[in-house]
Chain A
Amino acid sequence: KAGVTQTPRYLIKTRGQQVTLSCSPISGHRSVSWYQQTPGQGLQFLFEYFSETQRNKGNFPGRFSGRQFSNSRSEMNVSTLELGDSALYLCATRMADEQFFGPGTRLTVL
C-alpha cells in the first residue's frame, strides 16, 4: 500500500498571500488529520476530517480551514499568511487508534 502523500513538499509565500496544501491518505483510510509543527510550539492539532465532515478542530484562528473530498483526499487552506505560519504541516490518516503520517509540507512565509 502506498503511504500518505502530501503536496507540495516545500512552499515559499509572502505575508498576506494564501496557500493550499494537499494530502492523499492511505487507501481505505477515511480519517485525515492535520498538524502544525514549529520549533516553539511543537506539534499542534489543527483539525480532523472524516467522511467529508470536520469532526474535530484545534485552537487555531479561522484563517486555517480545510475540507475533504469524497475520495478522502484532503486540503487545508491558510489565508492572509503571517510570518508565524511558517511551519511543517503534517497530514495523518487513521485506522483504529493508529495514525500514519505523511512527509509534510514545509511552508516558509517571507
Chain B
Amino acid sequence: GDSVTQMEGPVTLSEEAFLTINCTYTATGYPSLFWYVQYPGEGLQLLLKATKADDKGSNKGFEATYRKETTSFHLEKGSVQVSDSAVYFCALSDRSNDYKLSFGAGTTVTVRA
C-alpha cells in the first residue's frame, strides 16, 4: 500500500536558518505529493503540491521537488522566520485509491528569534 516516511523531529532552528525536512514515499501508482502545515490549535493547510516527476511546488518561500527516481519530496526553505514554527506533514494521494491521503508522521519545527 501507499506510505510516507518523513524526518523525525523535533527540529529547532534560529531565525534566518535553512530548513530541510526529508520525505520519501512508497506508492503503487503515480501519486500527487503534498506538504501540509498545521499551526497550533488549527487544522491542516495545504502548503504546496506537485503532481508529476520533476515538478517543483513552491509557496511562502518553501519549495519541494517531486523526485521519482529517489521517491522523495523534501521540503526546503532558505531563511525561516519565527512564524514558520508549526508541524509539517508530507502526504500523497493517488487517483487509483480515490485520492485518499496518506500522511507522514509529521515534523515539529520551532524557530527561535
Does A pair with B?
yes
* B27 on interface, CB distance cutoff 8 Å: no
Chain A interfacial residues counted at CB < 8 A: 22
Q: A42 to B36, alpha carbons, bound, how many Å?
A: 13
* A25 on interface, CB distance cutoff 8 Å: no
Task: Give the contacting residue for B46; candidates A45, A100, A103; CB below 8 A.
Answer: A100
Residue of B nearest to A44 (CB): B103
Main secondary structure of the interface of A (DSSP, over half): strand
Q: Are B51 and A97 in contact (CB under 8 A)?
A: yes
* A56 on interface, CB distance cutoff 8 Å: yes
Task: Give the contacting residue for A98; candidates B43, B49, B89, B105; CB below 8 A.
Answer: B49
Residues of A participating in the B interface, judged by any CB pair closer than 8 Å: 4, 6, 31, 33, 35, 42-43, 45, 48, 55-56, 90, 92, 94, 97-104
Residues of B participating in the A interface, judged by any CB pair closer than 8 Å: 32, 34, 36, 42-46, 49, 51, 89, 93, 95, 97-106
